[in-house]
Structure 1
């Protein structure tokens, strides 16, 4: 029994072909949108690649770019096919190509769905990449004289100012690393030497943060040095003080920023997938209804269209039997007079 059988008159077939011709051209525009979204995402990731560890983050934008280009090509061809199918006689030139085209389009729409799901499933890799990348960027913050790292101080400062964040997880991350370059330390100072000697790794660690961590909305001057020392500041209590530093860590700030972009792109791609699926369904109905017209031999007659000629179970069983029989074709029959070189004939079931 055919799945979702629909009866088409000559007029309905012609209208379906015309509508599908228009929808395929709309799908070409959708392909351009997919390409643009992938390109936009790739640019956004590259803008802050210095703050990310090497992870397979470019798979998603590359997937969208590739799917967008394929969409332009496959829907351009689909528009030409549907335009010709408005005339039953012209359908003959596309008859043999229609089924392969529908199969290719099915896998293409599946790729669009995979692209949408990848946008929603990217959070874990993105979070790990940002955590490791920001950690390394903070470690190299002081290396303003080292080639290849001299720009990281400016990058991290601009990040903390733009996203109103501080550190990786928070401002206390700066307490655990030496973020002041040794060239700016007075090595004749006893206090500086004591701090360096008190650390096992010989680092100059302080309870301070870079200026870019300061909250510009704070009513009092920024306290960025001796943050945990209550006696160093007037009317100040570190455990209870509303710190005038950005409270949010930069990892969470960047993660929220990219997740918002990914979810917006994912929703758009999902809507495009639904649109492409509806176009594919219409092309399948057009193909089956026109093939039935050719069997009847009367272009003016009514014809049935369907998604599957048999039920899902019967279609799956038929395809399984075809695959199984193909495997039997190459089996060796050892019962033919003991000669294993004689192939067993392939029989249809």
Structure 2
């Protein structure tokens, strides 16, 4: 039994072809939207790529870009096919192309759905990449004279100012790294030397943060140094302490930023997938309806169209049998001597001929 069987008149087939022509052109526009969103997401990720440990997450925008370009090409071809399929004679030119086109479109729509799901499933990978990347960037914050790292200080300062954040998970992360270069330390100062010697790794650690961690909402000048003893300062209450520095970590700030973008893009891609699925269903109905018209031999007669000619179970079993039997007709025996008689057989044939001659003479 066919799945989704619908009967079409000649006028309805023509109307369906015209509607599909319009929908395919709209799909070309949605393909351009996919391409644009992929470019936008790639640019947004590359803005802060220096504070990410790996660029593996770029496969999401790359997939959107590729899918968008494929959508423009496939749907442009689909608009031409659907416009010609309104006429029976023109349909014959596309008859052999229709099924491969539908199969390609089906896999394309699956890629669109995969792109939408990736936008929602990348959060954990992005969070780990930001955590490791920010940790390394903070370690190299002081290396302003080292090639390949000289821009990390500027990047981190801009990040903390723009996103109103501080450190990786919080401002105390700066207490664990030496963020002041050794060339700016006064090695004749006994306090500096003692601090270096007190650390097992020889790092100059202190309870202070870079200027970019300072909050613009603070009612008093920002306090960057000796932050552990702020509560002992006169007139520095808990509220002032909360307003002094940005409390949110930059990992969470960037994660929220990218998550919002990903969710918006994912929702848009999901809507595009539903639209492409609608177009694919209409093209399938048009194909089967026109093929049935050709079988009937009357272009003006009614014809039936369907999504699947048989039920889901029958279609699955049929395709499974095709795959299972695929290549059996091409199997050959690899024995190179299959048609070459053996020595024993060559000896047996003359002996049989001699015995036949003896019997005939007797």
* Shorter-chain TM-score tier: over 0.9
Alignment length, in residue pairs? 339
Residues 102 and 284 in structure 2, CA contact (< 8 A), matched pair in contact too: yes
Deviations along 1:18-43, one digit per CA (max 9) or x if unpaired, are: 00000000000011001101111111
Q: CA deviation at 1:72?
A: 0.5
Report what 1:346 is aligned to: none
Higher helix share: 2
Label 1:89 to 1:332 Cα distance change in 2 as closer, same or farther (>3 A): closer
Partner SS for 1:310: coil
Report what 1:253 is aligned to: 253
Report what 1:219 is aligned to: 219
Give the stretch that moved more between structures: 49-58 or 203-212: 49-58
| TM-score, normalised with respect to structure 2 | 0.89
Root-mean-square deviation (CA, aligned residues, Å) is 2.1
Max Rg structure: 2
Q: Distance in 2 between matches of 1:303 and 1:153?
A: 71
Residues 219 and 240 in structure 2, CA contact (< 8 A), matched pair in contact too: no
Residues 229 and 238 in structure 1, CA contact (< 8 A), matched pair in contact too: no
Q: Distance in 1 between matches of 2:78 and 2:101?
A: 8
Deviations along 1:193-247, one digit per CA (max 9) or x if unpaired, are: 1111110011111000011111110112212110012476323367994351111
Label 1:232 to 1:188 Cα distance change in 2 as closer, same or farther (>3 A): farther
Q: Distance in 2 between matches of 1:332 and 1:294?
A: 39
Indicate whether 1:181 and 2:176 are aligned. Answer: no
Label 1:26 to 1:213 Cα distance change in 2 as closer, same or farther (>3 A): same
Partner SS for 1:93: helix
Partner SS for 1:153: helix
Report what 1:137 is aligned to: 137
Residues 6 and 304 in structure 2, CA contact (< 8 A), matched pair in contact too: yes
The runs of 5 or more residues in structure 1 that have no matched partner are 334-339, 343-349
Q: Distance in 2 between matches of 1:13 and 1:240?
A: 73
Q: CA deviation at 1:53?
A: 0.9
Q: Distance in 1 between matches of 2:231 and 2:313?
A: 79
Label 1:230 to 1:266 Cα distance change in 2 as closer, same or farther (>3 A): closer
Report what 1:233 is aligned to: 233
Report what 1:102 is aligned to: 102
Deviations along 1:266-296, one digit per CA (max 9) or x if unpaired, are: 1111100000000000000000000000011
Q: Distance in 1 between matches of 2:231 and 2:117?
A: 54
The runs of 5 or more residues in structure 2 that have no matched partner are 340-362
Deviations along 1:39-68, one digit per CA (max 9) or x if unpaired, are: 111111111111111241111111011111
